[in-house]
Amino acid sequence: MAIDSVVELSRLQFAATAMYHFLFVPLTLGMVWLLVIMESVYVMTGKQVYKDMTRFWGKLFGINFALGVTTGITLEFQFGTNWAYYSHYVGDIFGAPLAIEGLMAFFLESTFIGLFFFGWDRLSRQQHLLVTLLMAVGTNLSALWILIANGWMQNPVGAEFSYHTMRMEMTDFWAVVFNPDAQAKFVHTVSAGYVTGAMFVLAVSSWYLLKGRDTEFAKKSFRIAAAFGFASVCSVIVLGDESGYTVGEAQQTKLAAMEAMWHTEPAPASFNLIAWPNEVEMKNDWAVEIPWVMGIIGTRSLDKQIPGIHEIVEKNARRIESGIHAVKALEALRANRNDAAALAKFEAHKADLGFGLLLKKYSADVAQATPQMIALAARDTIPKVAPMFWAFRAMVGLGFWMLALFGAALWFSVKGCFDRRRWLLKAALYSLPAPWLACEVGWFVAEYGRQPWTIYGVLPTHLSVSTLSAQSLYGSLAGFVGFYTVLLIVEVYLMVKFARQGPGSLGTGRYANEAAH
Amino acid sequence: MELIDYPTLKLLWWLLVGVLLVGFAVMDGHDMGVGTLLPFVGRSDIERRVIINTVGPHWDGNQVWFITGGGAIFAAWPLVYATAFSGFYWAMLLVLWALFFRPVGFDYRSKIDNPRWRSTWDWGLFIGGFVPPVVFGIAFGNLLQGVPFRFDANLVSHYEGSFWQLLNPFGLLCGVVSSAMITCHGAVYLAHRTEGVIQARAARAAQACALVTLAAFSVAGLWLARGIDGYVITSALDAAALPDPLAKTVAVVPGAWLANYARTPAAMLVPVAGYLGFVLALLLVRGGRTFAAFWCSALGMAGVIGTAAVSMFPFVMPSSLDPAASLTVWDSVSSHRTLFIMLVATVIFMPIIILYTRWAYSVMRGKVTAAYVKENSHSAY
């Protein structure tokens, strides 16, 4: 239906704009709580240094937040501009959490961030703390509703297709809200944001300590970041996404791909620590296996099986065959809404409608699909294994590295001698990019792993796009990437400038490197 | 869920989308107007900082009216969201890219003390304030003339126009109406929050923009009545039916956009509010009563936006290519359940939003002066 390059370019544009956006979001999610902690200590103890900490880290928070807002605007509208059929097909469900996010969360966050920066002299200490807290709550509620929307793409519960309106319609709002997939994602994603905020404060504080300047300020910041970061990194790992992997079929497919599990094994399955996936022969050329581990972390049991790729492909081929009947019956129903035979047939095969639509990539009239086409479409239902396998391992490796780092930082904070452990300070400084890398590869696993679907089992990606020309897509993609890159350079420049200047940039007269004016 | 029947909900959502649009114009409109005026009303760095700080604490919250408006149209009118934003692709990107200048412009401008850096961001803030209202006006002008789109059997929308086609004379005239009214509103706000020379310049700008708004609105009204064909549903209307934009027949009839005023004379109050609001705003700002003038220009904008909406009702996005495929408030909406849930969410959260927004403005109330900016050189924008 849509030409391939438009589909590929639309995916690339969405990936680029979303990944740019997520350079800024995790730092916002995490730093906002660090600001709440620092300001709470200020309100409780009245010590000026905690107010200065809130204001200085708040300044860096603001520089980051500006680009979070900038890149976020795009995402609210890009479903309409570039994914028009998706918007029509699932807007009845997907639009609601986005709109509620605006009403419940984004207004809150954006209104109070103004008072956070401008209200210091006009509000009492308690009032200002309340403002900071409401900003933090708004930020995190915002993530909740966005991840409810995203979770529904992975596990589309509480909705049903209507042949009258040619779209999915909501049948149970609370099922959408309490989608286990969305809840697991929310905890995992905001915790990753908290780790990012903590790593940022930890790394910059370590730099001051290595330089031997603003030490009291830096030591206090380091301690708070170490404790908050350690708790958060534990939360990311323990309450990680794995808990959601048993709930939906999308997640089972993802799990099989990212673990390179080609065959269903007797429970509990073994875990491929490292493997060399062979896409063509659909097997691993070699693998280092650890018995039992996969079954235990994947199912939290010793007796439940985890389906392998071959079995999933086999099952999906049968669903595609059933889906052909659904597509044909739907065409008959659209021509004549009172066709009782078509309705009966449609109801019988409705659950596989999305699988039937997968064939549209190979044949405009799915009734003409050959067995080869069905086999190809079934094979399409598994994302490429190697990128999934390695991206997942990169994320987990970075996660455990940060666990060790925050563990050491907390340990030496408690012992009180962290500022003399130069290796620790250097490790913290050079680990600054780690949480961003982990976040980006994590999102890659989540979204690339859902292919070939935008809504798992419901709507294939190649049908979701707007009817635009490839030229338009090339133009807009270049525009977004160019614009964002310039803004990113400006942002990093300001971030480095103010981080180097340190708390002296507040102009209070209490710190090194006081601003000249 | 059956608390409110489907036709009533569909109608309520037409009103609510209108409320969100007017809310966007009143709230984000005043800081966009201020952005438009920035390079002209502020002639030195300190004057410009005063101007920017009148909206500094508020622009971000105000911008959420735009974001939420987009989300609400997605949730309540998914076909409109899909068809309009993909059809007006380059116009929409122009709005988004112009808006990119605002968060960074506000936050980064005064962080570096360099005239070229600051003047670059000042023009960025101008683009972010000036371009979106012009594009929205042009979009409304094109909706009133009908937009060249059609649906295939699977309800995939195909837009068969180009970006340049949007820039037709009537579309551009509506762009002038929109830009003038938003700039007037911003100028009134600026006059309210500043003093001395900035206030005097802002007040003059407000009066000029009010006059342009009134003149352009009048010309657009006459043009709409005489020169632009309206759309009429010719098949039997079942407002409770499941939404299907291909189930009706539509005729294009000269003068049909005036039919609602003939049928319901009370609807005339909407354009009257447009005139009344801007005439009063003009007189009040002349008399120095800027607070009252702000709410009068808000009323005026509600009247102008409402005039476009009431003239087209029940159409939202008429199709010039295939009139029967036009999107209306009855057949381009979400399901009964989703409309109801979204209504509940809006009724709960909108009053809360208005309350804390009011509180935020009251905390920051008073004139922004050069002395304030100098005292807070490190924290103010």
In chain A, domain spans:
1-251+383-506, 309-381
CA distance B61 to chain A (A): 4
Quick check: A517 pLDDT over 70? no
Question: Which tens digit of pLDDT belongs to each residue from B268-283?
Answer: 999 999 999 999 999 9
Q: Is A167 helix (H, G, I), strand (E, B) or coil?
A: strand
Q: For A235-244, B37-46, B323-332, which range has the lowest pLDDT when averaged over its residues?
A: A235-244
Q: Does A111 touch chain B (CB under 8 A)?
A: yes
Does A55 contact chain B (CB < 8 Å)? yes
Burial of A266 (0-12, 13-18, 19+ CB in 10 A): exposed
* pLDDT of A295 above 80: no
B195: distance to nearest CA of chain A, Å?
Answer: 20
Cis peptide before A452 (omega within 30 of 0): yes
Report the alpha-carbon distance of residue A372 to residue A362 in Å, rounded: 10
> For A122, which of B71, B79, B363 is closest by C-beta distance?
B363
Judge: A69–B60 Cβ closer than 8 Å, yes or no: yes
Q: Is the pLDDT of residue B160 over 80?
A: yes
Look over chain A and give the mean of its residue pLDDT values, rounded to a whole number: 92
Q: CB contact, 8 Å: B120 with chain A?
A: no
| pLDDT at residue A246 greater than cutoff 60 | no
Residue pLDDT, tens place only, B227-278: 999 999 999 989 999 999 999 999 999 999 999 999 999 999 999 999 999 9
What pLDDT score was predicted for residue A291?
81
Give the closest-approach CA distance of B67 to chain A in angstroms: 7
Asked whether the beta carbons of A1 and A463 are under 8 A apart, the reply is: yes
Parallel, antiparallel, or unpaired for β B229-233 and B250-254? antiparallel
**Size of the A and B interface in Cβ pairs below 8 Å:** 246
A393/chain B closest Cα distance in angstroms:
35
What is the predicted ipTM?
A: 0.94
**pLDDT for A206:** 97
User: Which chain B residue's Cα is nearest to A69?
Assistant: B103
pLDDT bucket at A74, cuts 50 / 70 / 90: very high
CB–CB contact A63 B63 (8 Å): no
pLDDT for A287 beyond 90: no
Residue A347, both tokens: 């109801």
- Considering chain A, what percentage of its residues have pLDDT values greater than 90? 79
Query: Is the pLDDT reported for residue A126 higher than 90?
Result: yes
Residue A249 pLDDT exceeds 80 = no
Split at pLDDT 50, 70, 90, the class of A300 is confident
Q: Are A507 and B378 in contact (CB < 8 Å)? A: yes
Q: Is the peptide bond before B39 cis (omega within 30 degrees of 0)?
A: no
Query: Would you state the torsion angle of the CA atoms of residues A78, A84, A90, A92, taken in this order, to the nearest 10 degrees?
Result: 80
Closest-approach residue (CA) in chain A for B357: A111
**In the predicted structure, residue A124 carries a pLDDT above the cut 80:** yes
> Which of A85, A86, A106 is the closest to B64 by Cβ?
A106
Q: What is the pLDDT of residue A244?
A: 56
pLDDT band (50, 70, 90) for residue A140: very high
Of residues A364, A357, A361, the one with CA closest to residue A376: A361
Q: What does the pLDDT read at residue A2? A: 54
Mean pLDDT of B171-179: 98
pLDDT at B364 over 70: yes
pLDDT at position B1, please?
A: 52
User: Do A112 and B360 lie within an 8 Å CB cutoff?
Assistant: yes
Note the pLDDT of residue A3: 60
Structure tokens at B224: 């709409």
pLDDT class for A279, splitting at 50, 70, 90? confident
Q: Tell whether omega for the bond before B314 is within 30 degrees of 0, i.e. cis.
A: yes
Cβ-nearest to B60 among A114, A119, A466? A114
How close A32 comes to chain B (CA, Å)?
17
Mean pLDDT of the region B152-176: 95
Q: What is the mean pLDDT of residues A471-480?
A: 95
∠ CA(A337), CA(A338), CA(A341), 5° rounding? 105
CB contact under 8 A, B244 and A466: no
Q: Give the pLDDT mean for A145-164.
A: 95
Residue A514 at interface with chain B, using a CB cutoff of 8 Å: no
- DSSP secondary structure string for all residues of A298-326: HHSSSS-----HHHHHHHHHHHHHHHHHH
Question: What per-residue confidence (pLDDT) applies to A88?
Answer: 97
CA distance A133 to A44: 15
CA-based nearest residue in chain A for residue B98? A70
pLDDT at A1 over 70: no
Q: Closest to A96 (Cβ–Cβ): which among B81, B86, B338?
A: B338
**Tokens 């001698």 found at:** A417
**pLDDT at residue B349, as a whole number:** 97
Quick one: pLDDT at residue A163? 94
pLDDT at B380 over 60: yes
- The model's confidence at residue A288, banded by pLDDT at 50, 70 and 90, is confident
Determine phi and psi for B130, rounding to 5 degrees: -90, -45
For range B183-189, the mean pLDDT: 98
Whether the per-residue pLDDT at A299 is higher than 80: the answer is no
From chain A residues 443-482, the ones with a CB under 8 A of any chain B CB are: 466-468, 472, 476, 479
Taking the C-alpha atoms of residue A58 and residue B107, their distance in angstroms, rounded to an integer, is 12
The region of weakest confidence among A130-134, A366-370, B125-129 is A366-370
Whole-number pLDDT of residue A242: 58
- Chain B nearest-CA distance from A314, in A, is 29
pLDDT tens for residues A402-452? 999 999 999 999 998 898 899 999 999 999 999 999 999 999 999 999 999
The tokens describing A169, both together, are: 């319609």
The answer to whether residue A269 scores a pLDDT higher than 90 is no
Query: Which residue does chain A place closest to B83, by CA atoms?
Result: A84
Cβ contact (<8 Å) for A123 and B363? yes
Q: How confident is the model at residue A516 (pLDDT cuts 50, 70, 90)?
A: very low
Question: How is residue B319 annotated by DSSP?
Answer: B
What mean pLDDT is reported for chain B? 95
Residues 128-187 of B with CB under 8 A from A: 153-159
Does residue B60 belong to the interface with chain A, where contact is any CB pair within 8 Å?
yes
List all residues of chain B from 211 to 270 with a beta carbon under 8 Å from chain A. Answer: 242-244
- Give B85's contacts in chain A (Cβ within 8 Å): 77, 80-81, 84, 87
Query: Pick the residue with more confidence: B1 or B2?
Result: B2
- Closest Cα of chain B to A441: distance in Å? 26
Strand partners, A167: A162
